[in-house]
Chain A
Amino acid sequence: MSDIANALRDLKEDEVKKLVDQRLAAGDTPVSLLAELNQGMVAVGELFSEKKYFISQLIFSAEILKNVMAKLEPLLQAGPQTESKGKVVIGTVKGDIHDIGKNIVAALLKGAGFEVIDLGVDVPGEKFIQAVKDSGAKVLGMSALLNFTYPEMKTVVESLAAAGLRDTVKVMIGGAPCNEQVRAFTGADYYAADAVAGVNICQQIYA
């Protein structure tokens, strides 16, 4: 892992800020920094799931990231304006309010040039369907941290089919507990093991 990722994993807020400033000054792109920050967040998540970190540390890591993002986001938008690589609808499914992972994916997607329609958290199925219909997005990303929300993901996928949209949109799921079994259960097309994988999947779909 990079020094930025390590500093974020170790919750050294000042160190993270300093390194980000240094690397921006040295000409690194905000997108590459986001990828490193994501590694740090993944490492924090692992420490949390191993019970080596506590919930306050998990939340603190998100606060550090949020503060860094406040600096990076304007730079991402101010970057060379290329044509949108495509639209992605994204949100945390109904019954779950975790948005750290979803926000990282959204930030990375924006950084990679996608137009992101972020529906927020606790998003009911019909809102996902409506957004896909209105935007014509080819990718729908659903996020969940709580495993009891898998049926909700499955319901959304089925509703897409009922609305006649299943062939026009690829469904990607993500969130710490998602794996191939969960993907198969929900009927999604892809699962993203981490935020960077999620961006790669979107790039494949729009290639």
Chain B
Amino acid sequence: MLIIGEKINSTLKATAKAVAARDEAALVDLAQRQVAAGAGMLDVNCGTVEAAQEPEVMQWMVRLVQGAVDAPLCIDSANPAALAAGLEVHQGKAMVNSISGESERYRKVLPLLREHGASVIALGMDDNGIPGDGEKAYAVGARLVEDLVRDGLALDDIYFDPLVRSVATSPGAALETLDLMRRLGQKFPGLHFASGLSNVSYGVPERRHLNRAYVVLSMGAGLDAVIMDPFDQVMVQLILAGEVLLEKDRWCLRYIEAFNQGRLSA
């Protein structure tokens, strides 16, 4: 499971403050602690700065974070100019967050992926928005993946995000998402799946339990990347355990390694 640390995102208050003040020490600390907690990749988002400044700030953040940790970054912006700026200075293979079936976004982000050999989070939506039911979601998702492959991306570089909705408002949302991942995984063997956790538990108390259960169930349906708070130790522990059970961690080697590092106790 690729754990993408979500903390360097200016929609989070503390991060917004650090970005506004260009507080390098605070961001370096945040980067290092996330990697130590188990993140294999770090999301970097500075979407709250003024649009004109965003590309420049993105470059500053990418250089800063990559200077502090040995992990690739997930360049996260709705602004293609900021994505391009971040990719330009990124060392190694980056991920882009995100592309979708929306024609404008697709047209602007695709060339960046090809130019920089980046992988990408592909949101399962198109010009009609987020699909309203499972059948539509499958059709939209399959078309998006087919388009990306036709346009030269390797399946191995595509992380499909099934855009789970809140179970508070859509009781079948998680089930539909699991089904969507299974079906797309069968149609496109080797396709990756990524999900965020901000939606599924929206509006429900003690959301972390729902988020954790969602991730564990989704792993069984093929989820292999998640954008999350790596400081949620229980989530990291459940992911490590789930990988053992799904034979993604044969002989429990990573699980035991985490144990030896004292990361399984608390």
Identify whether the interface residues of A are mostly helix, strand, loop, or mixed.
helix
| A56 proximal to B (CB < 8 A) | yes
User: Which residues of A, 39-81, contact B by the 8 Å Cβ criterion?
Assistant: 54, 56-57, 59-60, 63
User: Which residues of B, 219-266, contact A by the 8 Å Cβ criterion?
Assistant: 250-253, 256
What's the A-B contact tally at a CB cutoff of 8 Å? 17
Identify whether the interface residues of B are mostly helix, strand, loop, or mixed.
helix
| A34 proximal to B (CB < 8 A) | no
**Residue on B nearest A64 in the bound complex, by CB:** B251
Q: Min CB distance, A16 to chain B, in Å?
A: 14
| A140 proximal to B (CB < 8 A) | no
CA distance A51 to B34 in the complex (A): 30
Q: Min CB distance, B66 to chain A, in Å?
A: 27
Q: How large is the interface on A (under 10, 10 to 19, 20 to 34, 35 or more residues)?
A: under 10
CA distance A162 to B252 in the complex (A): 49
Task: List B contacts of A54 (CB < 8 A).
Answer: 252, 256
CA distance A60 to B252 in the complex (A): 10
- B interface residues, how many (CB within 8 angstroms): 5
CA distance A26 to B256 in the complex (A): 35
| A11 proximal to B (CB < 8 A) | yes
Task: List A contacts of B251 (CB < 8 A).
Answer: 11, 56-57, 59-60, 63
**Residue on A nearest B255 in the bound complex, by CB:** A56
Task: List A contacts of B252 (CB < 8 A).
Answer: 54, 56-57
Task: List B contacts of A57 (CB < 8 A).
Answer: 251-253, 256
Task: List B contacts of A59 (CB < 8 A).
Answer: 251
Task: List B contacts of A56 (CB < 8 A).
Answer: 251-253, 256
CA distance A63 to B250 in the complex (A): 12
Q: Min CB distance, B241 to chain A, in Å?
A: 13
CA distance A59 to B251 in the complex (A): 8
Encode contact with B along A1-27: 1 for CB under 8 Å, 0 otherwise.
000000000010000000000000000
**Residue on A nearest B252 in the bound complex, by CB:** A56
**Residue on B nearest A11 in the bound complex, by CB:** B253
CA distance A56 to B251 in the complex (A): 5
Q: Min CB distance, A62 to chain B, in Å?
A: 11
CA distance A199 to B256 in the complex (A): 35
Q: Min CB distance, A102 to chain B, in Å?
A: 22
Task: List A contacts of B256 (CB < 8 A).
Answer: 54, 56-57
**Residue on A nearest B260 in the bound complex, by CB:** A52
CA distance A11 to B253 in the complex (A): 9
Q: Min CB distance, B250 to chain A, in Å?
A: 8
* Residue from B250, B251, B256 with most neighbouring chain A CB atoms (10 Å): B251
**Residue on A nearest B259 in the bound complex, by CB:** A54
Q: Min CB distance, A129 to chain B, in Å?
A: 39
CA distance A136 to B250 in the complex (A): 44
CA distance A57 to B254 in the complex (A): 11
**Residue on B nearest A58 in the bound complex, by CB:** B251
CA distance A198 to B224 in the complex (A): 48
CA distance A56 to B250 in the complex (A): 9
Task: List A contacts of B253 (CB < 8 A).
Answer: 11, 56-57, 60
| Given pairs A11-B253, A60-B251, 15 additional interface contacts (CB within 8 A) | A11-B251, A54-B252, A54-B256, A56-B251, A56-B252, A56-B253, A56-B256, A57-B251, A57-B252, A57-B253, A57-B256, A59-B251, A60-B250, A60-B253, A63-B251
